């Protein structure tokens, strides 16, 4: 077994690099290269992609999500009916093409995500869609495990209300993809998909927001903990013990929290989070609600309406999960 795929080396590498954060921006896919940001050093880097992304049209490559150093890329070359999807390993520079799947590709996609089930060592492509000719509550979940290389669909008929949340977050081996109600008189809950058991699960919200205010919040993950960020309030919520409703803790700040997107912790020993605010990067302090601009050397692009993904640089346990026979 090569050193880069040795489990001991992978564990060591992940531990040593758990604070080495990288951010990738889909607006900055230029021909056959990804533009990445090394957050620790505050510089722009270029990652040349060794697969046929160079054949896509200009501005027709984008990122759907990332997890544990893997990035889900979609490209469009003008000849195919649908985009072509790849999973790209940023450490080994290997790639895997995701096969076309009609039940997913021909419905209206609400969101896409990539997650990792650690206990079974498998990455899974995840999508949520609905039929535009029916109500939005007619939701389907689509899953593609890299290990068995086969798509499957789960029809969901339990929702009476559903709102997707972007970007989907994936702490604790589950993808948290929106808010839902199972009955009109029920409180709103977080909808999640367990990547190990391939089934839906639901997480309770704090009592203070479960009926009236939950739809004004967004689901995020910071430091491996599930968080709820408001659109404009002087507080956010963090679930200190996953799955335990009583562990929701309100974090207040002196100032109103702006409509920002937390990306990742900034540096080891720092209380700041690298975040996206409108068209720029900022460093956000959750203790007092303050933030300041963060400048990347050599980068002047407007980040508004971009899809950004952040990950701690790591090597997956294997280059790609071995396919089941």
Pairing state between β 122-130 and 139-145:
antiparallel
CATH number at residue 42: 2.120.10.30
For residue 54, tell me if it sits in a domain: yes
Instruction: Print the domain residue range for 267.
Output: 3-312
Read out DSSP for 20-81? -EEEEEGGG-BTTEEEEEETTTTEEEEEE--SGGGGSPTT-EEEEEEETTEEEEEE--SSSS
pLDDT > 80? residue 243: yes
Placement of tokens 């997107």 in the chain = 261
**Contact assessment for residue 273 and residue 262, using Cβ atoms and an 8 Å cutoff:** yes
pLDDT > 90? residue 203: yes
Pairing state between β 43-48 and 33-38:
antiparallel
pTM comes to 0.75
For residue 45, tell me if it sits in a domain: yes
For residue 317, tell me if it sits in a domain: no
For residue 218, tell me if it sits in a domain: yes
Please compute the mean of the pLDDT values over residues 210-239 and round it to a whole number: 77
Q: Give CA 195 to chain center in angstroms.
A: 14
For residue 321, tell me if it sits in a domain: no
For residue 267, tell me if it sits in a domain: yes
**Contact assessment for residue 321 and residue 121, using Cβ atoms and an 8 Å cutoff:** yes
pLDDT > 70? residue 116: yes
Placement of tokens 């540096």 in the chain = 267
The predicted structure's pLDDT at residue 192: 93
Confidence of residue 62 (pLDDT cuts 50, 70, 90): confident
CA-to-CA separations, 233 to 123, 199, 219, 236, in angstroms, rounded: 36, 33, 15, 8
Residue 144, helix vs strand vs coil = strand
pLDDT tens track for 138-192: 778 899 999 888 999 888 877 778 888 767 788 888 999 888 888 888 888 999 9
For residue 15, tell me if it sits in a domain: yes
Query: Does 183 sit behind a cis peptide bond, omega within 30 degrees of 0 on the bond before it?
Result: no
As given in the structure block, the two tokens for residue 207 are: 């009592």
Burial of 54 (0-12, 13-18, 19+ CB in 10 A): middle
For residue 136, tell me if it sits in a domain: yes
Residues 6 or more apart in contact with residue 128 via CB below 8 angstroms: 109, 110, 111, 139, 140, 141, 142, 164, 177, 178
- For the chain, the domain total comes to 1
Please compute the mean of the pLDDT values over residues 50-56 and round it to a whole number: 57
Q: Quick one: which of 150, 148, 196, 195 has its CA closest to 323?
A: 148
pLDDT > 60? residue 313: no
Residue 154, helix vs strand vs coil = strand
């Amino acid at each position: 077994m090569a050193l880069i795929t040795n489990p001991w080396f992978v564990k060591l590498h992940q531990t040593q690099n758990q604070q080495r954060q990288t951010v990738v921006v889909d607006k900055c896919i230029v021909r056959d290269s990804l533009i990445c940001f090394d957050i620790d050093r505050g510089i722009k880097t270029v990652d040349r992609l060794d697969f046929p992304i160079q054949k896509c049209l200009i501005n027709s490559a984008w990122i759907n999500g990332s997890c544990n150093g893997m990035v889900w890329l979609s490209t469009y070359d003008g000849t195919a009916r649908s985009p072509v999807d790849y999973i790209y390993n940023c450490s080994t520079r290997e790639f895997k093409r995701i096969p076309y799947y009609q039940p997913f590709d021909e419905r209206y996609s609400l969101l896409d995500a990539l997650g990792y089930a650690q206990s079974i060592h498998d990455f899974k492509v995840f999508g949520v869609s609905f039929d535009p000719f029916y109500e939005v509550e007619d939701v389907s979940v689509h899953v593609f495990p890299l290990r068995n290389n086969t798509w499957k669909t789960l029809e969901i008929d339990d929702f009476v209300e559903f709102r997707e949340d972007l970007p989907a977050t994936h702490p604790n081996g589950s993808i948290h993809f929106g808010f839902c109600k199972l009955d009109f008189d029920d409180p709103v809950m977080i909808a999640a998909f367990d990547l190990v058991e391939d089934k839906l699960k639901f997480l309770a919200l704090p009592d203070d927001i479960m009926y009236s205010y939950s739809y004004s919040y967004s689901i995020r993950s910071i430091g491996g903990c599930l968080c709820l960020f408001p659109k404009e309030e002087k507080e956010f919520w963090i679930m200190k013990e996953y799955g335990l409703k009583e562990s929701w803790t309100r974090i207040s700040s002196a100032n109103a929290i702006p409509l920002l997107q937390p990306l990742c912790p900034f540096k080891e020993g720092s209380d700041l989070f690298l975040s996206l605010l409108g068209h720029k990067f900022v460093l956000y302090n959750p203790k007092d609600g303050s933030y300041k601009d963060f400048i990347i050397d050599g980068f002047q692009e407007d980040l508004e309406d971009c899809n950004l993904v952040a990950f701690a640089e790591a090597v997956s346990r294997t280059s790609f999960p071995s396919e089941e026979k």
